[in-house]
Every structure is written in structure tokens, then in C-alpha cells.
Amino acid sequence: MFRSKITGTGHYLPEDKITNHDLAKMVDTNHEWIVERTGIHARRNAKPDQATSDLALIAAKQALEAANLRATDLDMIIFGSITPDYIMPSTACILQEKLGAGNCVAFDLIAACSGFIYGLATADMYIKTGNKKNILVIGAEVLHNYVDYTDRGTCILFGDGAGAAIVSRNEDDNDKSEIYSHHLYSDGSLNKLLYVPDGGSVSPMTKDSIDQRLNAVKMNGREIFKHAVRAMSKCSTEALEANSMSADDVSWVIPHQANTRIIEATAKHMKFPMDRVVVEIEEMGNTSAATIAVAMDKAIKDGRVKRGQNILLTAFGAGLTSGSLLFKY
């Protein structure tokens, strides 16, 4: 068995923003309500010529540079997203070409907002077994195409963005950086709490589906909220127990940035102080698979997250999926 570590990270958020004041002109809502209930002030909007792979490309280049690797050093690309460039081929293959990553293995992974943690966990397993050495994990979305801007229950939440991490084999015995564990879950019985009804094989896209906005995200917000707190608390507690750690041993929790109240409720449940929780939702909203990757890279770049610290990631998403990943950075 080999050890794996996170060697580089990167992120990109489009410059254009949709503010709460912009949304208040489209639906019956207001800045104060959105801030109080979600913590979000603005979400990012990719330009029409920016595909999910374009956002990911910028994040991936940063991560490669931070890891001191070239694209041709990659053995695998795992692309977590629910908003691919095309139905086929995979966005991972598109990114591979844009990066000039040679012929490494490249595939997409659909676990919604848990996609980045699922991707890191998959990368860790390939590295632990000795099968691969350097893996690029992406969480990236252009979600605004799937948002119904007449539905005030969902349009206040979602935005576009991309994050990336390189997971590499750690061959240096003196370097204690390591992915310790991951705990992943899926509960398919809750699949209708958060989904896009049309555009798949059950109900292919028609003019009617677009007119009725059935190609956009539908969500039972209250139910998702409850399950989110429960799921993230459960898998985070498991992560600590599996590594014989307490909250005091962890420097930072980086949760899925879906809603500040969900984050605060989860931290309270875990008895984890909010001043050691990374919250970056205010200016980006919920970017699904990208949120943790973006928040982690921001916290690394501004010096909150440092080498040698224990870091706990936790997420939940459509499926419902959930997961945690505990590592020494």
C-alpha cells in the first residue's frame, strides 16, 4: 500500500455576478431574506462562450503548477460535475485535450455536490494500490443553464465555478502529508428531493419541457436541509472516530458550501467551532461539485490551511450522496 497526498490545488470563479438585488428584479425575494436564510450575496455566471471544461482548465493549470507537475505527468483525470460540456464524450476527455494531458485515463463522475470528495476518494484508492501516481481531480459546474429564474426557492442558491486538486503518491517517509480516510454514502430512496426532471432517458427534452422549465433543478429545500445536516454530521463523526481523533485534532473543516445555516447546524452538531470552519459561500453561492475545491484552494492561498494540519472535508448532494474525507495537508 502507498500513501497519497494533495500536492496542488487551484480554482476559478467567473467574474460576472448575479447579486441578490438582481434576483429581486426577477422573483419575489429580497437581499435581506436571502442573506439571512442562505448567507449568499452573489453567485457567479459563466459567459456564453465558457463551458464547464473552460472553467476547469484554469483551475487545473493552477493545481498542476502548485504541484510542480506538467499535464503529461498525469495518469488520470477524474471530473466531478452534473453540468458536462456534452452528454458525450466525457468532460474529462475534453479537458484532457485542452490540457495536453496525453493519453491518461479520463472519466466523469456524477455525485452532484459530493462529486469532489467522491473524486478525491477514488484518486486515493488508485494511488494507494500503486496503480497510478498523479491524478487530477476536478469539481466544476456551469449551473446557471439549469436554474429556473422564476423559482425563488432555487434560483437564489446556484452559481458557476471550478476547483481542482492533484493527488499524488507520497514517497517521502519524512513527509507526513496523507489522505487518512474517506466515508462515502448514497441513499437513492431520496433521489426526487433534488433533481432535473427532463433531458434524460426517462423524459427527453422537448419544447414543452423547456417552456415548463422541467430542464431546471427542482428541489424540496426543507427536506434537503434536514438530510444535509444529518448526513454531513454522520460521516464527519465517522471520519474522526476512524482516525481516533476529536474535533480538537482537526484544524479546519471545509464543508460543502450550500447554505451558511446548514454549515452552522452541522458544526454545532459536531461541536466544532465556526472559527475553524471555512465558509466561502457569500460571493459564489452553491457551485455544487466545485464548492469544496474552491473553498479549499482559497483557504490554502490565503494561508488559513497550512502544511501539517489535519483537514476534514464533508459534503452532501443530489442522490442523495454524502461523504467525508480526512487528510493531513
Question: Does 113 participate in catalysis according to the annotation?
Answer: yes
**Looking at 128, 181, 221, 282, which residue binds ligand UT7 (CB under 6 A)?**
221
Quick check: 128 binds ligand UT7 (CB under 6 A)?
no
- Cα 155 from Cα 144, distance rounded (Å): 9
Question: Does 11 participate in catalysis according to the annotation?
Answer: no
CB closer to ligand UT7 out of 9 and 38? 38
Quick check: 258 binds ligand UT7 (CB under 6 A)?
yes
Radius of gyration over every alpha carbon of the chain, rounded to an integer in angstroms: 19
Give 90's contacts (C-beta < 8 A, 6+ positions apart): 79, 84, 106, 107, 108
Quick check: 33 binds ligand UT7 (CB under 6 A)?
yes
Question: Does 30 participate in catalysis according to the annotation?
Answer: no
Selected catalytic residue, list 113, 155, 183, 259? 113
Report in angstroms how near the CB of residue 112 gets to ligand UT7 at its nearest. Answer: 7
Please report, for the chain, how many H helices and E strands are present, in that order.
9, 13
Quick check: 185 binds ligand UT7 (CB under 6 A)?
no
Quick check: 254 binds ligand UT7 (CB under 6 A)?
no
Quick check: 113 binds ligand UT7 (CB under 6 A)?
yes
**Looking at 225, 230, 238, 283, which residue binds ligand UT7 (CB under 6 A)?**
225
> For residues 114 and 84, is the Cβ–Cβ distance under 8 A?
no
Quick check: 180 binds ligand UT7 (CB under 6 A)?
no
Interface mask toward ligand UT7 for 142-161; x: CB under 6 A: ----------xx--x-----
Selected catalytic residue, list 20, 45, 134, 286? 286
CB closer to ligand UT7 out of 134 and 154? 154
Quick check: 260 binds ligand UT7 (CB under 6 A)?
no
- Cα 152 from Cα 23, distance rounded (Å): 8
Report in angstroms how near the CB of residue 220 gets to ligand UT7 at its nearest. Answer: 8
Environment class of 115 (CB within 10 Å of its CB; exposed 0-12, middle 13-18, buried 19+): buried
Q: By three-state DSSP, how is residue 205 classified?
A: coil
Q: By three-state DSSP, how is residue 309 classified?
A: coil
CB closer to ligand UT7 out of 57 and 194? 194
Q: Which amino acid is at 52?
A: T
CB closer to ligand UT7 out of 33 and 107? 33
Judged by CB under 6 A, which stretch of 1-9, 65-73, 85-93, 218-226 contacts ligand UT7? Answer: 218-226
How far lies 217's CA from each of 151, 274, 296, 303, 318, in Å?
A: 10, 30, 26, 35, 10
Strands of the sheet with 76-80, listed across from one edge: 3-12, 161-170, 134-141, 76-80, 105-109
Quick check: 42 binds ligand UT7 (CB under 6 A)?
no
Using the 8-state DSSP alphabet, how is residue 143 labeled?
Answer: G
**Nearest CA to 164 among 89, 52, 73?**
52
- Cα 277 from Cα 326, distance rounded (Å): 14
Report in angstroms how near the CB of residue 153 gets to ligand UT7 at its nearest. Answer: 5
Selected catalytic residue, list 11, 144, 256, 259? 256
Quick check: 186 binds ligand UT7 (CB under 6 A)?
no
Using the 8-state DSSP alphabet, how is residue 200 labeled?
Answer: S
Judged by CB under 6 A, which stretch of 3-11, 71-79, 224-232, 271-279 contacts ligand UT7? Answer: 224-232
Give 36's contacts (C-beta < 8 A, 6+ positions apart): none
Which residues of this chain interact with ligand UT7, rule CB under 6 A?
Answer: 29, 33, 37-38, 113, 152-153, 156, 194, 219, 221-222, 224-225, 228, 258-259, 286, 317
Residues that are catalytic: 113, 256, 286
